[in-house]
């Protein structure tokens, strides 16, 4: 198969001074993209700042014959990062929201600062950068956006309640951006990586740390950013040279009333608990419309179709822009 090129594309990679972001920036630049290498250059807990991280990666890309500029803003000022792309390259095709920090504490010990900083970098940073790039992409009729989540968000992880919450928030953000960008060919997907980096050096066992090169994940992220990729609103997990799509499954469940006038009681929930939680014939749902389909079906089964036309249940949004 011929090489998939990124010639003529402009990419922003946040937190590209190290780890996964550095690998993404290198791969995209090696395939022709002009890259904004953003990195605040601070510590892993969100302390300090330095130009060195971004500068080093820009020098490496240029030494390999690629095109890149450094940007040292925090993602919290994402609009400034987008401006760097526009000032230098005049457009933005790809945005990889990757910058991240950790402030791990057991749940009871999380301070307001631990919570706020982690949410600021991961969730607000991705919001600010994406919101600034989004209208540019929509106007161009092309855009590929990546949000970076984590297994910590999908499944929880001891000592990471602040991080888990922010990472799961990014999934909600990405899914709605995917819906709102779709008609303008602006797609948004979520990567769930596991890689050796300074964020994981004391979390992952040393023997598997070696096998988890960021370079094994970068091609998956790059593909999600290519014109040929029509994936949108999906969660893709990648690690150690493996990749797979993740989704949420819902049980077939159980109808807890037998007529429109019947009540739901705690006893009926108790009696039906095995059916409510039985996932053997569960299904994966692709949209809020599919999810609320079961609600409408239940009401139809009860001979009552009232109350199903609210904005939330139909997913119709009156505000188009």
Query: Active-site positions?
Result: 163
Interface residue with ligand NAI among 32, 42, 135, 159 (CB under 6 A) is: 42
**Cβ 73 to ligand NAI shortest distance, Å:** 7
Strands 94-96 and 10-13 turn out to be parallel
Interface residue with ligand NAI among 19, 66, 143, 233 (CB under 6 A) is: 19
What part of residues 69-128 is at the interface with ligand NAI (CB under 6 A)? Answer: 74-76, 98-101, 121, 125
Q: Measure the CA–CA gap between 310 and 19, rounded to whole angstroms.
A: 45
Q: Closest CB to ligand NAI among 66 and 153? A: 153
Vertex 273: Cα angle to 272 and 279 (nearest 5): 110
Q: Measure the CA–CA gap between 160 and 168, rounded to whole angstroms.
A: 12
Q: Is 15 in the site for ligand NAI (CB under 6 A)?
A: yes
**Cβ 25 to ligand NAI shortest distance, Å:** 11
Count of residues binding ligand NAI (CB under 6 A)? 32
Q: Closest CB to ligand NAI among 142 and 209? A: 209
User: Going residue by residue from 128 to 157, which x/- string records binding to ligand NAI, judged by CB under 6 A?
Assistant: --------------------x-x-------
Instruction: Name residue 145's beta-bridge partners.
Output: 95, 188
Element (H, E) at 54: helix 52-63
Contacts with 7 (C-beta within 8 Å, 6 or more apart), sequence order: 31, 32, 33
Q: Measure the CA–CA gap between 11 and 144, rounded to whole angstroms.
A: 9
Nearest to 162 by CA among 180, 147, 150: 150
**Cβ 66 to ligand NAI shortest distance, Å:** 19
Q: Closest CB to ligand NAI among 130 and 150? A: 150
CB-nearest residue to ligand NAI? 19
Q: Are 193 and 222 in contact (CB under 8 A)?
A: no
Interface residue with ligand NAI among 160, 197, 232, 234 (CB under 6 A) is: 197
Q: Are 18 and 40 in contact (CB under 8 A)?
A: no
- Report helix, strand or coil for 222: helix
Binding interface with ligand NAI (CB under 6 A): 14-15, 17-21, 38-42, 44, 53, 74-76, 98-101, 121, 125, 148, 150, 193-195, 197-200
């Amino acid at each position: 198969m011929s090489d998939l090129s990124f010639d003529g594309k402009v990419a922003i990679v946040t937190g590209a001074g190290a780890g996964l972001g550095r690998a993404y920036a290198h791969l995209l630049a090696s395939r022709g993209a002009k890259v904004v290498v953003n990195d605040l250059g601070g510590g892993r807990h969100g302390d300090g700042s330095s130009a060195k991280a971004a500068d080093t990666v820009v020098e490496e890309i240029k030494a390999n014959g690629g095109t890149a500029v450094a940007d040292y803003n925090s993602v919290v000022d994402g609009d400034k990062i987008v401006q760097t792309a526009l000032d230098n390259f005049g457009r933005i095709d790809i945005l990889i929201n990757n910058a991240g920090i950790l402030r791990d504490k057991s749940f009871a010990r999380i301070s307001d600062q631990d919570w706020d900083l982690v949410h600021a970098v991961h969730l607000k940073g991705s919001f600010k950068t994406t919101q600034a790039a989004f209208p540019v992409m929509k106007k161009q009729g092309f855009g590929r956006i990546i949000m970076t989540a984590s297994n910590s968000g999908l499944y929880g992880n001891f000592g990471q309640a602040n991080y888990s919450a922010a990472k799961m928030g990014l999934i909600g953000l990405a899914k709605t951006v995917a819906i709102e960008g779709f008609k303008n060919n602006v797609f948004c997907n979520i990567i769930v990586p596991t890689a050796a980096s300074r964020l994981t050096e004391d979390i992952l066992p040393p023997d598997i740390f070696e096998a988890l090169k960021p370079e094994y994940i970068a091609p998956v992220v790059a593909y999600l950013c290519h014109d040929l990729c029509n994936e949108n609103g999906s969660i893709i997990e990648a690690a150690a040279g493996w990749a797979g799509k993740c989704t949420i499954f819902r049980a077939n469940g159980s109808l807890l009333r037998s007529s429109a006038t019947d009540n739901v009681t705690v006893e009926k929930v108790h009696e039906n608990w095995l059916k409510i939680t039985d996932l053997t014939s569960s299904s994966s749902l692709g949209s809020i419309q599919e999810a609320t389909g079961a609600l409408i079906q239940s009401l139809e089964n009860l001979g009552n179709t009232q109350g199903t036309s609210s904005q939330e249940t139909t997913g119709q949004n009156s505000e188009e822009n």
